Chain A
Amino acid sequence: MNLTLKIWRQKNANDKGKMVDYQVSDISPDMSFLEMLDVLNNELIEKGDSPVAFDHDCREGICGMCSLYINGEAHGPGRKITTCQLHMRMFKDGDTIYIEPFRAKAFPVIKDLVIDRGAFDRVQYAGGFISVNTSGNTQDANSIPISKHAADEAMDAATCIGCGACVATCKNSSAMLFVGAKVSQYALLPQGKVEATDRVLNMIHQMDAEGFGNCTNTGACEIECPKGISLENIARMNREYLKASLKG
């Protein structure tokens, strides 16, 4: 396949940035999208140009590092996949592909397509944990039975990879799917209930402080989430927040 790529190039956080056109040829449909970018970068390097910077690591859809906005969609066309799981067979010979970074006030661009998602970490520092020391002297793992249903639901929430597609997709740049998933995981488990009040208040406070927007129930985040995290998690977080606010 031969393709035209329109890629966001930005030298550093202070640079204004612009879209630049590139051509790639002989792309195999079996290549992953990032392998296609590897081909482009190799050509750029050997020509003495600066390669396109993009984040990636595991290349199997679990680390959450890759983060491209492709043809106006977080992680590109295709559902329940990350950019590294996107394959070129999703495109046609002669296509023009637009590649941009995830854009949100809380995710400043570092270079080209690389963004700073430190805001997500800081929300987790505020309450994304259960305060139990790792002494190994807790009770036996089977001493608290947890219904399979609750455990499965907690697992579904916990499957979030923290990529930020929800934020990039949301017209308000809201992080409520991300935060809701973490709040839900712990709210669904007996171990998490002890600190439920503080957790939801602290995490939401930090979320707001980072400059993420509010949720207006559009539901785009759920559709673009590579792990299919459900909107129910936002609803559950809202209930937890209401409960916590009433308690004070």
Chain B
Amino acid sequence: MALDSKIPQGPLADKWTKHKNDINLVNPANKRLIDVIIVGTGLAGGSAAATLAELGYNVKAFCFQDSPRRAHSIAAQGGINAAKNYQGDGDSTYRLFYDTVKGGDYRSREANVYRLAEVSSNIIDQCVAQGVPFARDYGGLLDNRSFGGVLVSRTFYAKGQTGQQLLLGAYSAMNRQIGRGKIKMYNRHEMLDVVIVDGKARGIIARNLVTGEIERHSAHAVVLGTGGYGNVFFLSTNAMGSNVTAAWKAHKRGAYFANPCYTQIHPTCIPVSGDHQSKLTLMSESLRNDGRIWVPKHKKDVEAIRSGNLKPTQLAEEDRDYYLERRYPAFGNLVPRDVASRAAKERCDEGYGVNATGEAVYLDFAAAILRYGKEQAHVKGLSENDETLINKLGKDVVKAKYGNLFQMYEKIADENPYETPMMIYPAVHYTMGGVWVDYNLQTTIPGLYAIGEANFSDHGANRLGASALMQGLADGYFVLPYTIGDYLSHDIRTGTISTDLPEFEEAERKVTESIAHFINNKGSKSVDYFHRRLGKIMWDKCGMSRNEKDLKVAIEEISALRKEFYKEVLVPGTADEFNEQLAKAGRVADFLELGELFAKDALLREESAGGHFREEYQTPEGEAMRRKEFQFVSAWEYKGEPKDAVLHEEVLEYNNIEVKERSYK
């Protein structure tokens, strides 16, 4: 099947408005006859569920957590971008579009990104109307902060808990519709297959995670808002339950999977402390507004620090290497995430890492504390030379801005970041790749949509900070509700879809068989044992930098591990009870397939772009080298085994932005 991205004709800035005017609508009385299933209740799924229910559709929403409010969007810290230009610093829709395409290393779709920038302002208006308590300045207006890869302040925030507040906003909108009976909420349910009838997505098979019951649910369209697949690395900043299963099952039913190798490794996470580690914790990028990143200039100081004979605070200014400020004077500590992560890896690989494992760099707030302290002393008319006072005033400001993040760091690392620099290291955080969608956010299966992190469309090869929240809410509140109507307008006379159809029967049987396999397997090793091994292959061979040789080995290793998993996995308990190991086994089985496709995709892409860095393709200065012949989306069609997946190319065209070397110097 040829890929049709269905980008509307006409000038870039008019496409979305024109498209909205051209597509079909469903009248309010008919909306009551139409059912929509939404899987996942994060920012994308939650906002879509609320909006579609408000419009009048019958929505069934599913989440694996015990409440929609717990989806992992809740953990997003720093903020949400919008081209409001409240600061008058030159922001505009075009500039947000430009920054996003450039930040994505010219690997995203122009029309989608422009639409995202266009609706970004509405998101802020909407969220404020919902009662989201964004930070404000003393005049009572909204405050902004700055994020990586841009030269304006366009990020709105609610302390270091912006994701939480936006998600609770979407959850509140959902609550209103659940209360009205327009959303039927299925908590602790996991989607295990999508059901295709006459070529269209018409329902799902879900497992009730409390009782183990397998359920059939039908609808006129199915929407996946199921997030990313970072947990293929075992260790990531994702929640423990975050998984690729819904997206992967859709892939196996015919939805193409796009750019799986584009993974964001976030530069500022708390370093790994030992083998027991179950997950990694992010320290918001907003910290790079005020924190300065450095390692010692000299190896002897590195040794002294590692052995505990020297404290970082004792090291003189001239003995420190603020390597981001050195290499990228224009953007300094606020370079995009991919650039910052690779720079940290480069220093650590050279032997300048500051912790016992050699995989950590400093994020230092001493300069910010001094600067803010002096500013406060001046404002309050106090002595600007009193060091103790300055220190206290400065810490108060830093605490007000980042208090919860500092507290989080102290709890984990057992060090006080107000007194000594934080130690950070890159970790897997976000996946730009995902289910392929057209301009309408529809996958290659008619009636199946993918929104938020689950799709691939807006961030290209690298996502800018504070853009995930923007995209999730844009898709759910303002894009999908229009585009899905066009599709559903053909279903006003269809009537309820029966769950007795043979297609439901077949899908349910497959799910039941797979569950029975795990329960009856009685192997010798836990699910986590395999998941950890998969994670290690991924991190070592498909992580921050990749090369042909390692990727080929990874493909072999993952394929062998998958065979071993099916033979040796041990899932205790039964199928008809609350059984977390069983749920996990299914998720890891899918990661074991996705991981191989991921490596295959990385092997194919003989260039470096954004989060995908191929060692063979770099400039003499060690920067990523893009190649014109790879200016396409790789969309993979499932054909049985991951190694047999068939590539479809969507060539990317840039008519409104000049494709040039991405420089932050």
| Contact of B278 with A142 in the complex, beta carbons under 8 Å | no
Contact B72 A191, beta carbon cutoff 8 Å: no
- CB < 8 Å neighbour of A141 from B70, B125, B274, B408: B125
CA of A217 to CA of B127, assembled, Å: 34
Q: Which residues of A contact B119 (CB under 8 A)?
A: 136
**Distance of B303 from chain A, by nearest CB (Å):** 23
A93 on interface, CB distance cutoff 8 Å: no
Contact of B276 among A31, A64, A132 (CB under 8 A): A31
Residue among A63, A78, A117, A154 having the largest count of chain B Cβ atoms under 10 Å: A63
For residue A1, CB closer than 8 A to chain B, the reply is no
A189 and B126: CB pair below 8 A? no
Contacts of A140 in B (CB 8 A): 125
Pick the residue among B86, B129, B407, B573 that contacts A138 (CB under 8 A).
Answer: B129
A95 at the binding interface (Cβ < 8 Å): no
Residues of B within 8 A of A137 (CB): 122
Q: Is B168 an interface residue (CB 8 A)?
A: yes
> With A57-B70, A140-B125, A185-B133 known to touch, is A125 a contact of B274 (CB < 8 Å)?
no
Interface segment out of the listed B169-177, B534-542, B653-661: B169-177
Kindly state whether residue B597 has any CB partner on chain A within 8 Å: no
Q: Which residues 105-147 of A have a CB within 8 angstroms of B?
A: 110-111, 114, 116-118, 120-121, 124-126, 128-142, 144-147
Q: Assess whether B327 is interfacial by the CB under 8 Å rule.
A: no
B131 touching A191 by the CB < 8 A rule?
yes
Q: Which residue from chain A places its CB closest to the CB of B528 in the assembled complex?
A: A42
Most chain B Cβ neighbours within 10 Å, of A49, A136, A145: A136
| Interface residues contributed by chain A, number (CB under 8 Å) | 80
| Proximity bits, A24-63, B CB within 8 Å = 1, else 0 | 0000101110110011001011101111010111111111
Residues in A137-175 with C-beta less than 8 Å from chain B = 137-142, 144-148, 151-152, 154-155, 158-159, 161-162
Residue contact A162 to B69, C-beta cutoff 8 Å: yes
Contact A50 B573 (CB under 8 A): yes
**Chain A CB within 8 A of B520 CB:** no
Residues of chain A lying within 8 A (CB to CB) of residue B54:
133-135
Q: A63-B239, A129-B172, A141-B142 are in contact. Are A57 and B129 (CB under 8 A)?
A: no
A59 to B164, CA, bound (A): 14
Identify A146's interface contact among B140, B173, B210, CB under 8 A: B140
- Closest residue of chain B to A162, judged by CB? B69
CA distance A117 to B119 in the complex (A): 36
Q: Could you tell me which residues of chain B, from 48 to 65, have a CB within 8 Å of some CB in chain A? A: 50-51, 54, 65
Is the C-beta of B402 less than 8 angstroms from some C-beta in chain A? no
Nearest-neighbor residue (CB-CB) of B54 within chain A:
A133
Interface 1/0s, chain B 82-125, versus A by CB < 8 A?
Answer: 00101000000000000000000000000000000001001111
State whether the Cβ of A205 lies closer than 8 Å to any Cβ in chain B: no
A111 lies within 8 A of B578 (CB): yes
**Chain A residues with CB under 8 A of B138:** 148
For the complex formed, measure the closest distance between the CB of A91 and the CB atoms of chain B, giving whole angstroms.
Answer: 14
Q: How far is the CA of A45 from the CA of B66 in the complex (A)?
A: 24
In the complex, whether B128 has a CB less than 8 A from a CB of chain A is: yes
Quick check: B526 and A46 within 8 Å, CB to CB?
A: yes
Task: Please tell me if A65 contacts chain B, counting CB pairs below 8 Å.
Answer: yes
Residue contact B125 to A60, C-beta cutoff 8 Å: no
Q: Which residues of B contact A53 (CB under 8 A)?
A: 578, 580
Interface of A, helix, strand, loop or mixed by DSSP:
loop
Contact of A89 among B70, B135, B414 (CB under 8 A): B414
Give which listed residue, B66, B137, B158, contacts A148 with CB less than 8 A: B137
Are A63 and B74 in contact, with the CB atoms below 8 A?
yes
Q: Which residues of A contact B323 (CB under 8 A)?
A: none
Closest to B163 in A: A62
Q: How far is it, in angstroms, between the C-alpha of A145 and the C-alpha of B125 when the chains are bound?
A: 13
Say whether B570 contacts A142, CB under 8 Å: no
Given A59-B239, A146-B136, A155-B159, the answer on whether A110 and B210 have CB atoms closer than 8 Å is yes
Are A141 and B84 neighbours in the complex by a CB distance under 8 Å?
Answer: yes
Is the beta-carbon distance between B572 and A30 smaller than 8 angstroms? no
Query: Which residues of A lie under 8 Å from residue B281 when comparing CB positions?
Result: 59-60
- The reply to whether the CB of A81 lies closer than 8 angstroms to some CB of chain B is yes
Indicate whether A63 sits within 8 Å of B408 (C-beta atoms), given known contacts A46-B570, A50-B572. no
- Does B277 count as interface, using CB distance less than 8 angstroms? yes
Cβ of A192 < 8 Å from any Cβ of B?
yes
CB pair A131 B578 closer than 8 Å: no
Contacts of B141 in A (CB 8 A): 142, 145
CB pair A42 B276 closer than 8 Å: no
B435 is an interface residue with CB less than 8 A from chain A: no
Contact B67 A121 (CB under 8 A): yes
Chain A residues within an 8 Å CB radius of B477: 134, 136
- Of B66, B134, B164, B529, which is within 8 A of A55 by CB? B66
When chains A and B are docked, how far (Å) is the Cα of A59 from the Cα of B125? Answer: 31
B525 at the interface (CB under 8 A from A): yes
A58 engages B50 (CB within 8 Å): no
Q: Does B178 contact A (CB under 8 A)?
A: yes
User: How many angstroms between the C-alpha atoms of A200 and B59 in the bound complex?
Assistant: 27
Q: Are A35 and B125 in contact (CB under 8 A)?
A: no
Q: Mark B139-164, 1 if CB is under 8 A from A, else 0.
A: 11110000000000000001101001
Verify A134–B173 contact, CB threshold 8 A: yes
15 contacting pairs across A/B (C-beta < 8 A): A12-B577, A31-B276, A42-B529, A53-B580, A58-B240, A64-B70, A87-B411, A117-B66, A128-B175, A134-B54, A135-B54, A135-B126, A138-B128, A146-B140, A191-B128
B residues within 8 Å of A by Cβ?
A: 47, 50-51, 54, 65-70, 72, 74-75, 84, 86, 119, 122-131, 133-142, 158-159, 161, 164-165, 168, 171-173, 175-176, 178-179, 185, 187, 210, 237, 239-241, 273-274, 276-279, 281-282, 407-408, 411-412, 414, 477-478, 524-526, 528-529, 570, 572-573, 577-578, 580-581
4 residue pairs, one from A and one from B, having the closest CB atoms: A145-B140, A136-B122, A129-B172, A138-B129
Question: 13 additional contacts, CB 8 Å, given A58-B70, A85-B411, A128-B175?
Answer: A49-B572, A57-B241, A63-B70, A118-B66, A132-B129, A132-B130, A138-B126, A140-B125, A147-B140, A155-B135, A158-B133, A161-B164, A185-B133
